[in-house]
Protein backbone atom coordinates (compact mmCIF):
# COMPACT_ATOMS: atom_id res chain seq x y z
CA UNK A 1 0.00 0.00 0.00
CA UNK A 2 1.47 3.33 -0.96
CA UNK A 3 0.23 6.04 1.29
CA UNK A 4 1.42 9.58 1.11
CA UNK A 5 1.06 10.68 4.68
CA UNK A 6 2.77 13.66 6.09
CA UNK A 7 2.80 14.53 9.71
CA UNK A 8 2.02 17.88 11.22
CA UNK A 9 1.61 18.86 14.78
CA UNK A 10 -1.13 21.10 16.03
CA UNK A 11 1.32 22.93 18.30
CA UNK A 12 1.70 25.94 16.04
CA UNK A 13 -2.05 26.36 15.78
CA UNK A 14 -2.43 26.19 19.51
CA UNK A 15 0.28 28.74 20.07
CA UNK A 16 -1.30 31.28 17.78
CA UNK A 17 -4.79 30.64 19.08
CA UNK A 18 -4.45 30.58 22.82
CA UNK A 19 -3.79 34.27 23.22
CA UNK A 20 -7.15 34.99 21.65
CA UNK A 21 -9.34 32.63 23.65
CA UNK A 22 -12.24 34.81 24.70
CA UNK A 23 -15.80 34.88 25.80
CA UNK A 24 -18.22 36.04 23.15
CA UNK A 25 -21.63 37.54 23.76
CA UNK A 26 -24.60 37.48 21.41
CA UNK A 27 -25.41 41.01 20.25
CA UNK A 28 -29.21 40.79 20.16
CA UNK A 29 -29.74 43.91 18.05
CA UNK A 30 -27.71 42.50 15.20
CA UNK A 31 -28.76 38.88 15.52
CA UNK A 32 -31.79 37.34 13.95
CA UNK A 33 -33.65 34.06 13.93
CA UNK A 34 -36.32 33.77 11.26
CA UNK A 35 -38.55 31.05 9.94
CA UNK A 36 -40.88 30.78 7.01
CA UNK A 37 -44.38 29.42 6.75
CA UNK A 38 -46.59 28.75 3.80
CA UNK A 39 -50.33 28.78 4.21
CA UNK A 40 -52.98 27.72 1.71
CA UNK A 41 -50.14 26.26 -0.32
CA UNK A 42 -49.15 29.61 -1.72
CA UNK A 43 -48.87 32.43 0.80
CA UNK A 44 -45.36 32.63 2.14
CA UNK A 45 -44.61 34.59 5.28
CA UNK A 46 -41.52 35.25 7.35
CA UNK A 47 -41.70 35.32 11.12
CA UNK A 48 -38.86 36.07 13.48
CA UNK A 49 -37.81 36.24 17.11
CA UNK A 50 -36.79 39.72 18.11
CA UNK A 51 -34.87 38.83 21.23
CA UNK A 52 -31.91 36.49 21.30
CA UNK A 53 -29.31 36.34 24.00
CA UNK A 54 -26.44 34.11 24.90
CA UNK A 55 -22.75 33.53 24.66
CA UNK A 56 -19.89 31.42 23.42
CA UNK A 57 -17.57 30.52 26.28
CA UNK A 58 -13.81 30.34 26.09
CA UNK A 59 -13.95 26.61 25.46
CA UNK A 60 -16.43 26.98 22.62
CA UNK A 61 -19.73 26.27 24.30
CA UNK A 62 -22.54 28.07 22.52
CA UNK A 63 -25.64 28.86 24.51
CA UNK A 64 -28.39 30.76 22.79
CA UNK A 65 -31.62 31.76 24.44
CA UNK A 66 -34.53 32.46 22.13
CA UNK A 67 -37.22 34.59 23.75
CA UNK A 68 -40.39 32.89 22.48
CA UNK A 69 -42.47 35.84 23.68
CA UNK A 70 -40.63 38.04 21.20
CA UNK A 71 -42.07 36.23 18.21
CA UNK A 72 -42.97 38.71 15.48
CA UNK A 73 -45.45 37.56 12.85
CA UNK A 74 -46.38 41.12 11.88
CA UNK A 75 -49.96 40.64 13.07
CA UNK A 76 -50.65 41.33 16.75
CA UNK A 77 -53.42 38.80 17.25
CA UNK A 78 -51.28 36.16 15.63
CA UNK A 79 -48.32 37.00 17.88
CA UNK A 80 -50.62 36.47 20.81
CA UNK A 81 -51.86 33.14 19.48
CA UNK A 82 -48.35 31.95 18.71
CA UNK A 83 -47.26 32.76 22.27
CA UNK A 84 -50.21 31.18 23.99
CA UNK A 85 -51.21 28.32 21.76
CA UNK A 86 -48.10 27.19 19.92
CA UNK A 87 -45.49 28.10 22.51
CA UNK A 88 -47.78 27.41 25.46
CA UNK A 89 -46.71 30.63 27.21
CA UNK A 90 -43.27 29.13 27.78
CA UNK A 91 -40.65 31.85 28.06
CA UNK A 92 -37.77 30.66 25.96
CA UNK A 93 -36.13 27.97 23.89
CA UNK A 94 -32.45 27.10 24.14
CA UNK A 95 -29.97 26.20 21.47
CA UNK A 96 -26.70 24.67 22.65
CA UNK A 97 -23.68 23.49 20.70
CA UNK A 98 -20.00 22.86 21.06
CA UNK A 99 -17.91 24.95 18.70
CA UNK A 100 -14.25 24.65 17.85
CA UNK A 101 -13.03 27.56 19.96
CA UNK A 102 -9.51 27.35 18.59
CA UNK A 103 -10.69 27.57 15.00
CA UNK A 104 -12.86 30.58 15.76
CA UNK A 105 -10.22 32.51 17.63
CA UNK A 106 -7.64 31.80 14.94
CA UNK A 107 -9.80 33.29 12.26
CA UNK A 108 -8.00 36.40 11.04
CA UNK A 109 -9.87 39.67 10.72
CA UNK A 110 -11.48 39.68 7.29
CA UNK A 111 -11.31 35.92 6.92
CA UNK A 112 -14.28 33.59 6.57
CA UNK A 113 -14.83 29.90 7.05
CA UNK A 114 -17.60 27.34 6.99
CA UNK A 115 -17.91 25.03 9.97
CA UNK A 116 -20.17 22.12 10.76
CA UNK A 117 -22.53 22.76 13.62
CA UNK A 118 -24.21 20.02 15.58
CA UNK A 119 -26.57 21.70 17.96
CA UNK A 120 -29.44 20.77 20.22
CA UNK A 121 -32.58 22.85 20.32
CA UNK A 122 -34.62 22.57 23.46
CA UNK A 123 -38.12 23.69 22.59
CA UNK A 124 -41.04 23.17 24.99
CA UNK A 125 -39.14 20.40 26.71
CA UNK A 126 -38.31 18.50 23.52
CA UNK A 127 -34.69 18.11 22.49
CA UNK A 128 -34.27 18.42 18.76
CA UNK A 129 -30.92 17.71 17.14
CA UNK A 130 -29.99 20.30 14.54
CA UNK A 131 -27.21 19.82 12.04
CA UNK A 132 -26.12 22.55 9.74
CA UNK A 133 -23.21 24.34 8.16
CA UNK A 134 -22.44 27.76 9.51
CA UNK A 135 -20.67 30.53 7.64
CA UNK A 136 -18.40 32.48 9.97
CA UNK A 137 -16.78 35.84 9.23
CA UNK A 138 -14.35 37.66 11.49
CA UNK A 139 -15.41 41.26 11.08
CA UNK A 140 -13.02 42.82 13.56
CA UNK A 141 -10.99 41.84 16.59
CA UNK A 142 -14.08 42.02 18.72
CA UNK A 143 -16.77 40.93 16.27
CA UNK A 144 -17.65 37.65 14.65
CA UNK A 145 -20.64 37.15 12.38
CA UNK A 146 -22.09 33.66 12.02
CA UNK A 147 -24.98 32.68 9.77
CA UNK A 148 -26.53 29.43 8.70
CA UNK A 149 -25.00 28.52 5.37
CA UNK A 150 -28.33 27.25 4.05
CA UNK A 151 -31.80 27.03 5.47
CA UNK A 152 -32.40 24.49 8.19
CA UNK A 153 -35.71 22.64 8.02
CA UNK A 154 -37.57 22.00 11.22
CA UNK A 155 -40.64 19.77 11.34
CA UNK A 156 -43.48 21.00 13.54
CA UNK A 157 -44.17 17.41 14.55
CA UNK A 158 -40.60 16.85 15.64
CA UNK A 159 -40.61 20.20 17.44
CA UNK A 160 -43.67 19.17 19.42
CA UNK A 161 -45.77 22.09 18.21
CA UNK A 162 -48.07 20.23 15.83
CA UNK A 163 -51.12 20.34 18.10
CA UNK A 164 -50.68 24.08 18.55
CA UNK A 165 -50.39 24.60 14.84
CA UNK A 166 -53.59 22.57 14.36
CA UNK A 167 -55.41 24.88 16.71
CA UNK A 168 -54.05 27.96 14.97
CA UNK A 169 -55.22 26.57 11.69
CA UNK A 170 -58.76 26.15 13.01
CA UNK A 171 -58.80 29.57 14.63
CA UNK A 172 -57.57 31.29 11.51
CA UNK A 173 -59.84 29.16 9.32
CA UNK A 174 -56.95 28.09 7.17
CA UNK A 175 -57.27 25.02 5.05
CA UNK A 176 -53.61 24.32 5.01
CA UNK A 177 -50.35 25.28 6.65
CA UNK A 178 -46.94 23.72 6.10
CA UNK A 179 -45.60 21.34 8.71
CA UNK A 180 -41.97 21.93 7.89
CA UNK A 181 -40.53 25.37 8.30
CA UNK A 182 -37.27 26.67 6.89
CA UNK A 183 -35.21 28.44 9.55
CA UNK A 184 -32.28 30.82 9.19
CA UNK A 185 -30.09 32.19 11.94
CA UNK A 186 -27.71 35.13 12.03
CA UNK A 187 -25.60 35.65 15.10
CA UNK A 188 -23.42 38.64 15.80
CA UNK A 189 -20.93 37.81 18.51
CA UNK A 190 -18.89 40.44 20.31
CA UNK A 191 -16.25 40.38 23.00
CA UNK A 192 -16.67 42.70 25.89
CA UNK A 193 -12.99 43.45 25.74
CA UNK A 194 -12.48 40.82 28.38
CA UNK A 195 -9.29 38.94 27.69
CA UNK A 196 -8.94 35.63 29.42
CA UNK A 197 -7.29 36.40 32.76
CA UNK A 198 -4.87 33.53 32.78
CA UNK A 199 -3.42 31.95 29.70
CA UNK A 200 -5.17 28.63 29.40
CA UNK A 201 -2.83 25.70 29.66
CA UNK A 202 -2.72 24.09 26.26
CA UNK A 203 -3.47 20.41 26.33
CA UNK A 204 -0.82 18.27 24.67
CA UNK A 205 -1.51 18.48 20.98
CA UNK A 206 -2.51 15.24 19.30
CA UNK A 207 -0.26 14.46 16.40
CA UNK A 208 -2.32 14.80 13.27
CA UNK A 209 -1.81 12.58 10.29
CA UNK A 210 -3.08 14.18 7.14
CA UNK A 211 -3.25 13.51 3.45
CA UNK A 212 -1.55 15.97 1.15
CA UNK A 213 -4.82 17.26 -0.30
CA UNK A 214 -6.85 20.21 0.90
CA UNK A 215 -9.57 19.07 3.30
CA UNK A 216 -11.82 22.05 2.67
CA UNK A 217 -11.67 21.69 -1.08
CA UNK A 218 -12.26 17.97 -0.62
CA UNK A 219 -15.39 18.66 1.34
CA UNK A 220 -16.74 20.54 -1.66
CA UNK A 221 -15.92 17.65 -3.96
CA UNK A 222 -17.76 15.37 -1.56
CA UNK A 223 -20.97 17.19 -2.45
CA UNK A 224 -20.97 14.96 -5.52
CA UNK A 225 -21.07 11.91 -3.29
CA UNK A 226 -23.44 13.22 -0.66
CA UNK A 227 -26.59 12.16 -2.45
CA UNK A 228 -25.60 8.56 -1.77
CA UNK A 229 -22.93 8.53 0.94
CA UNK A 230 -22.53 9.79 4.46
CA UNK A 231 -19.23 10.05 6.31
CA UNK A 232 -20.97 9.22 9.56
CA UNK A 233 -20.20 5.89 11.07
CA UNK A 234 -22.95 3.35 10.47
CA UNK A 235 -25.03 5.65 8.28
CA UNK A 236 -25.78 3.81 5.06
CA UNK A 237 -27.82 5.53 2.39
CA UNK A 238 -27.97 4.52 -1.26
CA UNK A 239 -24.27 3.80 -0.83
CA UNK A 240 -22.43 2.53 2.26
CA UNK A 241 -21.07 4.82 4.96
CA UNK A 242 -17.62 6.10 3.99
CA UNK A 243 -16.51 6.54 7.56
CA UNK A 244 -13.01 5.09 7.84
CA UNK A 245 -13.07 3.85 4.25
CA UNK A 246 -9.38 4.55 3.69
CA UNK A 247 -7.44 1.48 4.68
CA UNK A 248 -10.36 -0.91 4.84
CA UNK A 249 -11.35 -3.82 2.65
CA UNK A 250 -13.93 -3.26 -0.06
CA UNK A 251 -17.48 -4.16 0.94
CA UNK A 252 -16.70 -4.22 4.65
CA UNK A 253 -19.63 -2.19 5.97
CA UNK A 254 -21.93 -4.45 7.89
CA UNK A 255 -25.58 -4.20 7.06
CA UNK A 256 -25.02 -2.75 3.60
CA UNK A 257 -26.12 -4.86 0.66
CA UNK A 258 -23.29 -4.68 -1.83
CA UNK A 259 -23.39 -5.92 -5.40
CA UNK A 260 -21.81 -9.30 -6.06
CA UNK A 261 -18.76 -7.83 -7.75
CA UNK A 262 -18.12 -5.41 -4.91
CA UNK A 263 -18.66 -8.06 -2.27
CA UNK A 264 -16.18 -10.36 -4.03
CA UNK A 265 -13.61 -7.71 -4.93
CA UNK A 266 -10.19 -8.37 -3.49
CA UNK A 267 -9.40 -4.72 -2.93
CA UNK A 268 -8.14 -2.66 -0.04
CA UNK A 269 -9.19 0.98 -0.30
CA UNK A 270 -5.96 2.97 -0.28
CA UNK A 271 -4.84 6.06 -2.16
CA UNK A 272 -4.08 4.11 -5.32
CA UNK A 273 -7.15 1.93 -5.53
CA UNK A 274 -9.49 4.76 -4.53
CA UNK A 275 -7.94 7.05 -7.12
CA UNK A 276 -8.43 4.46 -9.81
CA UNK A 277 -11.95 3.57 -8.66
CA UNK A 278 -13.12 7.17 -8.37
CA UNK A 279 -11.67 8.13 -11.74
CA UNK A 280 -13.80 5.51 -13.52
CA UNK A 281 -15.85 3.38 -11.14
CA UNK A 282 -17.22 1.19 -13.91
CA UNK A 283 -13.84 0.52 -15.44
CA UNK A 284 -12.19 -0.34 -12.14
CA UNK A 285 -14.93 -2.74 -11.16
CA UNK A 286 -17.32 -3.61 -13.99
CA UNK A 287 -20.91 -4.28 -12.92
CA UNK A 288 -20.58 -2.56 -9.56
CA UNK A 289 -23.72 -0.74 -8.53
CA UNK A 290 -22.38 2.76 -7.90
CA UNK A 291 -24.11 5.01 -10.42
CA UNK A 292 -21.38 7.61 -10.67
CA UNK A 293 -19.43 8.54 -13.81
CA UNK A 294 -16.19 9.42 -12.06
CA UNK A 295 -14.05 12.40 -11.13
CA UNK A 296 -11.94 13.78 -13.94
CA UNK A 297 -9.50 15.96 -12.06
CA UNK A 298 -6.73 14.23 -10.10
CA UNK A 299 -6.62 17.21 -7.71
CA UNK A 300 -10.29 16.69 -6.86
CA UNK A 301 -9.55 13.12 -5.85
CA UNK A 302 -6.51 14.09 -3.83
CA UNK A 303 -8.54 16.70 -1.95
CA UNK A 304 -11.43 14.31 -1.52
CA UNK A 305 -9.18 11.67 0.04
CA UNK A 306 -7.81 14.25 2.47
CA UNK A 307 -11.39 15.10 3.43
CA UNK A 308 -12.42 11.45 3.81
CA UNK A 309 -9.36 10.87 5.96
CA UNK A 310 -10.21 13.88 8.13
CA UNK A 311 -13.75 12.64 8.78
CA UNK A 312 -12.61 9.24 9.91
CA UNK A 313 -10.82 10.36 13.03
C1 LIG B 1 -25.72 7.58 -7.17
C2 LIG B 1 -25.20 7.11 -5.92
C3 LIG B 1 -23.71 7.21 -5.64
C4 LIG B 1 -22.88 8.28 -5.83
C5 LIG B 1 -23.21 9.65 -6.39
C6 LIG B 1 -21.59 7.87 -5.32
N7 LIG B 1 -21.65 6.59 -4.86
FE8 LIG B 1 -20.13 5.50 -4.07
N9 LIG B 1 -21.30 3.88 -3.95
C10 LIG B 1 -22.64 3.83 -4.28
C11 LIG B 1 -23.11 2.47 -4.16
C12 LIG B 1 -24.54 1.99 -4.44
C13 LIG B 1 -22.01 1.70 -3.74
C14 LIG B 1 -21.98 0.19 -3.55
C15 LIG B 1 -21.59 -0.37 -4.91
C16 LIG B 1 -21.72 -1.83 -5.04
O17 LIG B 1 -22.05 -2.53 -4.07
O18 LIG B 1 -21.48 -2.31 -6.17
C19 LIG B 1 -20.90 2.62 -3.60
C20 LIG B 1 -19.63 2.25 -3.19
C21 LIG B 1 -18.59 3.12 -2.95
C22 LIG B 1 -17.32 2.76 -2.38
C23 LIG B 1 -16.91 1.39 -1.88
C24 LIG B 1 -17.29 1.33 -0.41
C25 LIG B 1 -17.00 0.05 0.30
O26 LIG B 1 -17.49 -0.07 1.44
O27 LIG B 1 -16.31 -0.80 -0.22
C28 LIG B 1 -16.59 3.90 -2.29
C29 LIG B 1 -15.19 4.04 -1.76
C30 LIG B 1 -17.39 4.96 -2.83
N31 LIG B 1 -18.60 4.45 -3.20
C32 LIG B 1 -16.99 6.28 -2.91
C33 LIG B 1 -17.73 7.29 -3.53
C34 LIG B 1 -17.28 8.64 -3.66
C35 LIG B 1 -15.99 9.19 -3.07
C36 LIG B 1 -18.23 9.31 -4.37
C37 LIG B 1 -18.20 10.75 -4.85
C38 LIG B 1 -17.08 11.15 -5.63
C39 LIG B 1 -19.31 8.37 -4.63
N40 LIG B 1 -18.96 7.17 -4.10
C41 LIG B 1 -20.48 8.69 -5.31
C42 LIG B 1 -23.40 4.90 -4.70
C43 LIG B 1 -22.92 6.15 -5.04
pLDDT at residue 1 tops 50: no
pLDDT digits (tens, 9 = 90+) for 80-106: 888 887 777 778 889 999 888 777 778
Q: By alpha-carbon position, which residue is closest to atom 23 of ligand 1?
A: 250
Calculate the dihedral angle through the C-alpha atoms of 99, 101, 106, 108, rounding to the nearest 10 degrees: 50
Burial class (CB in 10 A: 0-12, 13-18, 19+), 197: exposed
Residue 301 CB–ligand 1 contact under 6 Å:
no
Q: By alpha-carbon position, which residue is closest to atom 5 of ligand 1?
A: 225
- Tell me, what's the pLDDT at 252? 93
- Tell me, what's the pLDDT at 44? 82
Residue 257 CB–ligand 1 contact under 6 Å:
no
* Distance between start and end Cα atoms, the chain: 20
- Counting from 1 in the atom list of ligand 1, the atom nearest the Cα of 288 is 18
Does the domain at 22-190 match CATH 2.40.128.110? Answer given as: yes
Residue 231 CB–ligand 1 contact under 6 Å:
no
pLDDT at residue 173 tops 60: yes
The C-alpha angle with vertex 127 and arms to 125 and 129, in degrees rounded to 5, equals 160
pLDDT-based confidence at 115, cuts 50/70/90?
confident
Total count of residues recorded for the chain: 313
Residue 288 CB–ligand 1 contact under 6 Å:
yes
- pTM for the full model? 0.48
Q: By alpha-carbon position, which residue is closest to atom 37 of ligand 1?
A: 225
Contact 191, 56 (CB under 8 A): no
- Counting from 1 in the atom list of ligand 1, the atom nearest the Cα of 221 is 38
Domain ranges for the chain, please list them.
22-190, 213-311
Given 3.40.50.300, 1.10.30.50, 1.10.760.10, 3.30.470.20, which CATH number is that of 213-311?
1.10.760.10
Residue 267 CB–ligand 1 contact under 6 Å:
no
Residue 292 CB–ligand 1 contact under 6 Å:
yes
| DSSP letter for each residue of 77-117 | HHHHHIIIIISTT--EEEEEEE--HHHHHHPPTT-EEEEEE
pLDDT at residue 117 tops 90: no
pLDDT digits (tens, 9 = 90+) for 283-293: 999 999 999 99
Q: Which of 207, 208, 215, 209 is nearest to 305 (CA)?
A: 215
Contact 247, 268 (CB under 8 A): yes
Interval between CA 277 and ligand 1 midpoint (Å): 9
> Three-state SS string across 176-239, please?
CECCEEEEEEEEEEECCCCECCCCCCCCCCCEEEEECCCHHHHHHHHHHCCCCECCCCCCECCC
- Tell me, what's the pLDDT at 297? 92
Lowest mean pLDDT among 150-164, 176-190, 227-241: 150-164
pLDDT digits (tens, 9 = 90+) for 17-38: 433 457 889 998 899 999 888 7
Residue 290 CB–ligand 1 contact under 6 Å:
yes
pLDDT digits (tens, 9 = 90+) for 204-229: 433 334 577 899 999 999 999 999 99
Interval between CA 239 and ligand 1 midpoint (Å): 5
**Residue to mutate, 233, 238, 292, ligand 1, most ligand atoms under 8 Å from C-beta:** 292
Amino acid sequence: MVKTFFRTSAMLLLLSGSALAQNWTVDSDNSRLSYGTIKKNSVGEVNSFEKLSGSVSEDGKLQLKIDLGSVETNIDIRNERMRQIVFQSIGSADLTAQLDAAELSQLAVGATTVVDLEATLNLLGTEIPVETEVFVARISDSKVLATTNDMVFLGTEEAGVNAGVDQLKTLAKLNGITRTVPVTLRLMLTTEGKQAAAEPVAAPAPVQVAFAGDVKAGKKVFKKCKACHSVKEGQNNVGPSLHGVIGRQAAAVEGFKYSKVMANADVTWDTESLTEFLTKPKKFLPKNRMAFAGLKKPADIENLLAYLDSTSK
